[in-house]
């Protein structure tokens, strides 16, 4: 195993942590989180095991879409600090072994951005063609809106411009026209600016929409929309060689493949577009599997994952900052998940998702919560955590829409959860209350509790980082076994291999496994090429072992490659395949 490879392609075994500066830590007690407050909490992230910090938008904003309506791509919102504070964050994070990436939101701007103000002022404005306009009345586009509870179409009439402008999202977020080479150059300047200040890459918002206009104009200088993404990746790589583009591409697998740069479907492209893509398909199938207590949907999703370029990676997640979208499920499947995890209409959003966090969805059952995060960390890919997941925060359904899961971080059991000393009315958002409020769920208490979710996840993330096969495996090998509730899969990279078992059901089971590469004849010490498999770590040195890396114990495979593993209800096992002569630490 060439462990040095994990330093070159660092993103393949990273631990990514997403947060909104505005709701993380308020250091000047004005009610809004800020960059100095985040710097004060970097040691919490380092102790947790985070290696890459993803910042939601911190740019100046009209603040009508929680920062995603940007008025200046080159600034820092003064409520949060200034550019100097951001540089101090990047420098201090680097000292703790944490890279920093940020949201790149260039599908649209705020309607208060100077570009749009100029564009609407005159047809002769140099920024007019920065946006998408039409003068004829558009046809009905209700079926194209992203937020059906807020918009009834994607075109809005502008009195000053005397034209219609397009907005895939809210009407106060006009779409940028990426068919205009000047727009693409402006986006490259944004990327180059923040890379120069020390960012290690970007999470790219709404990638398919960002590419939608590129190459659509006869006056454009590219022939295919993906050329824009390739050019952006190439530009960033020239500026900072190990930077990443982590893209939001909520599409079926066969379409996601294109955004890695694999246009001939053979998985062998050099990976010259996005570095990582979120695996929305497996995430949604995981929730269907949890709702049914049947691992089948997730197992099938893992089988269906296409081969991807060597340098590319899937980003896996349980929750993120948006609604828990279920748009890739059928209507009946979505109804199953709604019934299990969000039966009240107030828990649902846009008819396609849930505005809840995981622990309340699982009724606060610590067995189920830990099983799900264990499952996350064993799926081939890079795990992405959303702030508060490490302590089991819940949502606040009193907040509007997606803000239900973007409540202030809960640091202590004190007022406002230790987020701020400002009066509650001045906070950037309402603190969660009830059984998941800060008096019951907070960092300070869990730091001192050896049995807490926080301490458990710290340990699990250490094990994940020690097992690069979990991140580097090209795909999950689904192992045959008879229990529908159990997902048994194996991740292998070079000479490292891990068997992971997860029980999605409440009943204890005994899982029979057979590893074909562990079969040997009686008295045979194993294949000379070192492809044997498993056994108890205390056994003789001619047998391959399955060693539990989360607790003491292990299993010896028989000469026929078979073994039986006991698994409690909602239980999990990480079993490292240890071959004769292995020098890996256990």
Q: How far apart are CA 346 and CA 396, in angstroms?
A: 11
Give the tokens for residue 383: 């795990």
Calculate the alpha carbon distances from 494 to 4, 113, 470, 497, 518 in Å: 13, 50, 12, 8, 16
Alpha helices in 21-149 (DSSP H): 35-40, 42-48, 83-95, 114-121
Q: Tell me which residue of 323, 179, 187 sits closest to 245, measured CA to CA.
A: 187
Q: How far apart are CA 217 and CA 221, in angstroms?
A: 9
Q: How far apart are CA 172 and CA 160, in angstroms?
A: 15
Q: How far apart are CA 424 and CA 416, in angstroms?
A: 7
Q: How far apart are CA 90 and CA 97, in angstroms?
A: 10
Q: How far apart are CA 161 and CA 537, in angstroms?
A: 74
Calculate the alpha carbon distances from 426 to 31, 32, 37, 46, 423 in Å: 5, 8, 17, 30, 6
Is 469 labeled as catalytic in the residue annotation? no
Give the active site residue among 248, 279, 389, 390.
248
Three-class secondary structure of residue 405 per DSSP: helix
Is 248 labeled as catalytic in the residue annotation? yes
Q: Tell me which residue of 34, 29, 35, 48 sits closest to 415, measured CA to CA.
A: 29
Q: How far apart are CA 357 and CA 237, in angstroms?
A: 35
Give the active site residue among 66, 205, 262, 469.
205
Q: Which long-range contacts (CB under 8 A, 24 or more apart) does 522-527 make?
A: 522/559, 524/559, 525/580, 526/579, 526/580
List, in sequence order, every residue forming a beta bridge with 133; answer none if it has no partner.
165
Residues designated catalytic: 205, 248
């Amino acid at each position: 195993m060439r462990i040095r490879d994990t330093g070159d392609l660092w993103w393949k075994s990273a631990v990514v942590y997403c947060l909104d500066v505005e709701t993380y830590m308020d250091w000047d007690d004005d009610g809004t989180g800020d960059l100095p407050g985040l710097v004060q909490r970097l040691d919490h992230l380092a102790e947790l095991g985070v290696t890459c910090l993803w910042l939601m938008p911190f740019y100046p904003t009209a603040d009508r879409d929680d920062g995603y309506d940007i008025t200046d791509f080159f600034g820092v919102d003064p409520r949060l600090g200034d550019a100097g504070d951001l540089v101090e964050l990047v420098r201090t994070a680097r000292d703790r072994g944490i890279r920093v990436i940020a949201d790149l939101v260039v599908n649209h701007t705020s309607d208060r951005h100077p570009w749009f103000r100029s564009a609407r002022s005159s047809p002769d404005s140099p920024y007019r063609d920065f946006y998408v306009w039409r003068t004829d009345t558009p046809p009905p586009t209700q079926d194209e809106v992203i937020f059906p509870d807020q918009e009834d179409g994607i075109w809005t009439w502008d009195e000053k411009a005397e034209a219609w402008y397009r907005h895939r999202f809210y009407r106060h977020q006009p779409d940028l026209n990426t068919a205009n080479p000047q727009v693409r150059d402006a986006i490259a300047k944004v990327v180059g600016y923040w890379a120069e200040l020390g960012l290690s890459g970007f999470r790219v918002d709404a990638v398919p929409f960002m590419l939608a206009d590129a190459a659509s104009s006869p006056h454009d200088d590219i022939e295919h929309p993906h050329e824009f993404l390739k050019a952006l990746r190439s530009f960033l790589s020239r500026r900072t060689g190990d930077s990443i583009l982590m893209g939001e591409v909520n599409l079926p697998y066969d379409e996601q493949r294109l955004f890695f740069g694999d246009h001939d479907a053979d998985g062998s492209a050099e990976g010259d577009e996005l570095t990582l893509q979120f695996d929305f398909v497996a995430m949604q199938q995981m929730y269907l599997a949890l709702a049914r207590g049947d691992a089948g949907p997730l197992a099938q999703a893992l089988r269906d994952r296409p081969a991807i370029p060597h340098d590319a990676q899937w980003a896996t997640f349980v929750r993120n900052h948006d609604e828990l979208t279920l748009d890739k499920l059928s209507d009946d499947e979505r109804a199953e998940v709604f019934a299990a995890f969000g039966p009240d209409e107030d828990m649902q959003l846009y008819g396609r998702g849930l505005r809840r966090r995981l622990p309340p969805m699982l009724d606060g059952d610590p067995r189920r919560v830990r099983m799900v995060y264990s499952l996350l960390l064993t799926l081939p890919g890079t795990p992405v955590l959303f702030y508060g997941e490490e302590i089991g925060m819940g949502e606040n359904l009193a907040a509007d829409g997606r803000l239900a899961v973007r409540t202030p971080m809960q640091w202590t059991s004190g007022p406002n959860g230790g987020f701020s000393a400002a009066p509650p009315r001045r906070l950037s958002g309402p603190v969660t209350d009830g059984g998941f409020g800060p008096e019951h769920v907070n960092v300070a208490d869990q730091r001192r509790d050896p049995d807490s979710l926080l301490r458990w996840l710290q340990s699990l993330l250490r094990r994940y980082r020690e097992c690069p096969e979990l991140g580097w495996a090209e795909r999950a090998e689904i192992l045959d076994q008879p229990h529908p509730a159990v997902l048994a899969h194996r991740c292998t990279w070079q000479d490292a291999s891990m068997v992971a078992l997860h029980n999605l059901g409440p009943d204890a089971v005994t899982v029979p496994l057979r590893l074909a590469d562990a079969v040997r004849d009686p008295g045979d010490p194993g294949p000379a090429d070192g492809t044997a498999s498993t056994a108890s770590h205390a056994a003789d040195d001619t047998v391959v072992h399955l060693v539990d890396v989360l607790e003491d114990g292990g299993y010896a495979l028989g000469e026929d490659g078979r073994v039986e593993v006991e698994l409690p209800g909602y239980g999990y096992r990480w079993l490292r395949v240890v071959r004769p002569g292995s020098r890996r630490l256990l």
